[in-house]
Amino acid sequence: MSGYYTKLRARRTYRWEGKPTICRLLPAEAVVSVGQYILIEGHDDDNPFVAQLLKLFCDDNGNKKAEVQWFVRMCEIHQNKRKLLGRSPHPQEVFYYQDRSCDNEVDAETILGSVQVCVYKAAPTTPRTPRHATPSIPTRSLPARKPENVLEEARARLHVSSVPESLPCREQEFQDIYSFVESKIMDGTGGCMYISGVPGTGKTATVHEVIRSLLQAAEQDEIPHFRFIEINGMRMTDPHQAYVQILQKLTDQKATADHAAALLEKRFSMPAPKKETTVLLVDELDLLWTRKQNVMYNLFDWPTRRHARLVVLTIANTMDLPERIMMNRVASRLGLTRMSFQPYNFKQLQQIITSRLNRVKAFEEDALQLISRKVAALSGDARRCLDICRRATEICEHSGQQGGTKLVGMSHVMEALDEMFSSSYITAIRCASLQEQLFLRAVIAEFRRLGLEEATFQQVFVQHQGLCRMEGLQPISVSEGLAVCQRLGACRLLLLEPSRLDLLLRVRLNVSQDDVLYALKAD
């Protein structure tokens, strides 16, 4: 804000009119000229508005008008903005007003007279906040602290957010995805690849590595330049927001979901000169499910358009999601290229940990093998494996402060595994009845079939009956199954969402699938 000091030297005379108890200051004729600072009638007679006269003119009806540049007093400024001044203002101080939403045309009759405005040089000027300013994290005054020992360095390298120097055990998947996208970019055509696999099997990391390599090739003019954008179903409150995010990332244009869908439909259907290929990554595709399935259908259909030049890479946890959300003939017509990521085995998990450590000797060989075998037996989730390794280094470091060994050994790993898989929930699962344990297994089986983290009681009950037959047990009735479900909900192993029909009761797990599998396999 730039400060000004006003000296009220009105170059005009006034006369009183009205009753003694109701007084109004009415102006006599006054002469003002363009460029002068003027006073304009306002809501408060003691504090008229201050402005600079920019133009005098008559409108179509012959009324005299004035175009002005407004100034504001401190009392007119929002309380939060007053803090920006950093000092106490002068009672007569006014400030330059730049908001274009305010009408800058006034009736000439409301001009009270001229006023002298002087720059208030005794006050330091305060820089204005930029129009589109956003909060930012201040830069470090000191560099980030470096690891003080081998265990700290290992912990940093094993963090899931740490970018590894290489991506082991997914070389073939990398090559297949790279070849698919590269061929589409080179040919100027479109296509869609459906990538599936259980969580923690390297799907997203592999695709990101492919895109990084392709962008590097484009910078070296080995392939044509392309546009890469990414959306994630987990970051949306509504599946239709996918249209809004795609349009904004492509064109920097904001629109409603329906309008964005129409604009994208037109963009991918019409030819355009010098149109470059767009590579779109859709992660967590499972969460873009809608009743009419229009969002998923469009994502699969747009790449087939002749002029789209769109390559879509979709990532989901379920192998047959396209067939289940659309009719088989529609799914086959779209011609999806498929890629399935299998869970890591214990040797692959051990190789992943070793490659991340990169010659940092922090673990005993047997300790690494134990972690890898334990996680591979449950889910093959590399992220869970890294979490256990990090916790084991913390336990080892704590014991080292008390005179213990400096390498992570079997005892540290066993303690970390016990912490990871020995919660009160796991104890409750182990103490549950056989039918309750079978019901939990049925819940996980149905989640994996659907590729979602929610199912109805009816869907889970069908799985439960199948498991009973496999175990040689007599299937229970619907009412008995509902009672089992309610008991699991009462101890908070399941989250239940009521419905008018018991069969449509929504069921979700309140613990991780790994914890359930660990508790059941421990039996």
Q: What does the pLDDT look like over 75-115, one tens digit per residue?
A: 777 666 676 777 777 778 888 877 665 678 888 888 888 88
SS3 435: helix
- The per-residue pLDDT for 405 is 57
Query: Which residues are bridge partners to 118 per DSSP?
Result: 5
Distance CA 300, CA 303 (A): 7
Mean pLDDT of 220-242: 91
- Answer for the pair 378, 343: CB distance below 8 angstroms, yes or no: no
> Which of 29-43, 321-335, 468-482 tops mean pLDDT?
468-482
* Residue 270 in this model has a pLDDT that exceeds 60: yes
Alpha helices in 19-138 (DSSP H): 79-82
Q: What does the pLDDT look like over 319-338, one tens digit per residue?
A: 777 766 665 545 555 668 88
DSSP string, 273-303: TTPPEEEEEEESGGGG--SS-HHHHHHHHGG
- The per-residue pLDDT for 19 is 30
- Answer for the pair 331, 323: CB distance below 8 angstroms, yes or no: yes
Mean pLDDT of 118-124: 59
Range of weakest confidence among 33-37, 128-132, 338-342, 400-404: 128-132
* Residue 482 in this model has a pLDDT that exceeds 90: yes
Range of weakest confidence among 303-312, 361-370, 378-387: 378-387
Range of weakest confidence among 11-15, 192-196, 320-324: 11-15
- The per-residue pLDDT for 7 is 35
Q: Which residue has the higher pLDDT, 15 or 306?
A: 306
Residue 244: its H or E element: helix 241-251
- The per-residue pLDDT for 14 is 32
* Residue 199 in this model has a pLDDT that exceeds 70: yes
Give the residue carrying structure tokens 């179903």: 233
Q: What are phi and psi of 453, to 5 degrees?
A: -105, 25
- The per-residue pLDDT for 21 is 28
The pTM is what? 0.60
Percent of the chain past pLDDT 70, that is, above it, reads: 82
- The per-residue pLDDT for 124 is 47
pLDDT band of 246, cuts 50, 70, 90: very high
- The per-residue pLDDT for 331 is 58
- Answer for the pair 29, 123: CB distance below 8 angstroms, yes or no: no
* Non-local CB neighbours of 219 within 8 Å, separated by 6+ positions: none
Q: What does the pLDDT look like over 344-373, one tens digit per residue?
A: 999 999 999 999 998 889 999 999 999 999
